[in-house]
Amino acid sequence: MAFLLLTPYNSKAAGMNLRKMPLTEIRSTNPVRVPALALAFAIGAALLTGPARAQSAASEGQKLAFDRGKGNCLTCHVIKGGDLPGSIGPELADIKRKYPDRKDLVAILNDETRRNPQTVMPPFGRNRILTEQEIDAIVDFLQTL
Amino acid sequence: MKLQSAIQFASAAVALAALIVIGPSAIAADSIDPAADAKAFQKYFTDKFPRLELKDFVNGPYSMNEDMRRQWQEKEEFPPYEFSLEAGKEMFSTPFRNGKTYADCFPNGGIGIRQDYPYFDGKEGKVVTLELALNRCREANGEAPISYVKDDMAALTAYMAFTSRGKPFDIKIPNDPRALEAFEDGKRYFYTRRGQLNFSCASCHVQNPGERIRAEILAPALGILNAMPIYRSEWGGMGTISRRFVTCNIQTRGVPLEPQSDEYRNLEYYLSYVSNGLPISGPGARP
């Protein structure tokens, strides 16, 4: 099990990426090949507005943070709702109070070695482990902690 | 971060800064001081874990706390590596087709010599590890080499380690600029970050020994090779030093090197030398 610890494995739910796609892109996909569930998610997401939308980004962020092939943040951090956390980094709690400016969180995720050259936290943005949008979603999630 | 780990982190950072080499070209052979490096290295770990004796470090993750130590003691009652030890003994004493045996290739018939490997071979100008020497022995006797990462190699090295248990690592660095450069190269490899995840070996085994990475407890770099080869429950089998190096490289999403490439040989030379004085404890068992 733990041998997979840092190697990617694909646990992405089929609908997850589609949910973020703009509707036009979804329309241009052959509808027969879009799984019904994913389509339902996509339409659902498009209908969401305001706070509901932010909530969905945060839950998407949580998935990305916990996914071993993506953020895999639990390798090092205790995070509410996650199993088998490591102890290398500090517990991620009370983040909104500690980092009221989301730019600071984006920077930490992008490349923490700029703040602390000795850190072992991977430079998720710089090394393209996560895309800008994925980092955004994870930051949304962090702000709920 | 808990205060204690914050302090540990800070001291790790200081030690690392002291150990890290600025740049490959900046190293002149006469500024390489393996003895001083080994002393500083051992002190870093004994300061970090004041309750452990030097010899305790050879049990890897099992040395890191009471709970783990108990698990280790329980495991040693029915050692999971026993099958490999038996197989290794059998292989070791079975003659090659030419009638010779492994014993003919090694000093003292190969018994009780694990602590002397790797050594620097002045003729070749390179580091020779035990795994490499075993395959060279096979080839010199007309046998095909065996995989560095599979069971047969683990079995042979398990047996040779077992006959050397308790003997302190006694790695020598002759006064030869090539030997010093090999040591320095291994050290550089150890402290250089690589892979998409940007880890060096030291990120995990110097900065974070005793911490959990997911559910696994990280072994300290001091004594990290003394127990090799190891049976890992997680692998459901044995692993050689080569296998462990490759695995750790893959975990950081780096590109692993060929087993027994010059870099890995130098890395093993460095890691073994800085553990001089600590007893061979292999074969080992791990979670």
pLDDT at A131 over 50: yes
Structure confidence at residue A83 (pLDDT): 92
Whether the link from the prior residue into B80 is cis, omega within 30° of 0, is no
Tell me what pLDDT residue B30 has.
58
- For residue A132, is it within any domain? yes
Residue B287's pLDDT is what? 84
Residue whose token pair is 């044995």? B238
Residue A12 has pLDDT above 80, yes or no: no
Please check whether residue A97 lies inside any domain of the structure. Answer: yes
**What number does CATH give the domain B82-162?**
1.10.760.10
**A8–chain B nearest CA distance, Å:** 9
Q: d(Cα B154, Cα A4) in Å, to the nearest integer? A: 22
Cβ distance B16 to A86 less than 8 Å, yes or no, reads no
Min Cα separation B199/chain A (Å): 7
A142 vs B11, more confident:
A142
Placement of tokens 């600590």 in the chain: B278
Residue B25: per-residue pLDDT: 40
- Provide the CATH number for the domain around residue A115: 1.10.760.10
What is the CA angle A54-A56-A61, rounded to 5? 95
**Which residues lie across from B206 on neighbouring strands?**
none
Structurally, how many domains does chain A consist of?
1
Where, residue-wise, is CATH 1.10.760.10 in chain B? 2-79+175-286, 82-162
The residues of chain B scoring below 50 in pLDDT are 1-29
Fold that domain B2-79+175-286 belongs to in CATH: Cytochrome Bc1 Complex; Chain D, domain 2 (1.10.760)
Q: Is residue A87 part of a domain?
A: yes
Q: Min CA distance, B98 vs chain A (Å)?
A: 41
CB contact under 8 Å between A1 and B252, yes or no, is no
Pairs across A and B, CB distance < 8 A: 67
Q: Can you say how many angstroms the Cα of residue A100 is from the centroid of all Cα atoms in its chain?
A: 19
Q: Is B248 assigned a catalytic role?
A: yes
Angstrom CA distances, B286 to B55, B68, B167, stand at 17, 10, 21
Share of chain A above pLDDT 90, in %: 61
This prediction has a pTM of 0.84
Contacts of A140 (CB under 8 A, 6+ apart): A54, A57, A58, A60, A61
Pick from A86, A123, A128: CB nearest B212: A86
Tell me the pLDDT tens digit for each residue of A22-80. Answer: 332 323 333 334 444 444 444 444 444 555 666 778 999 999 999 999 999 999 999 99
Give the nearest partner residue to B212 out of A7, A87, A122, using CB atoms: A87
Query: Which candidate in B105, B137, B201, B248 is catalytic?
Result: B248
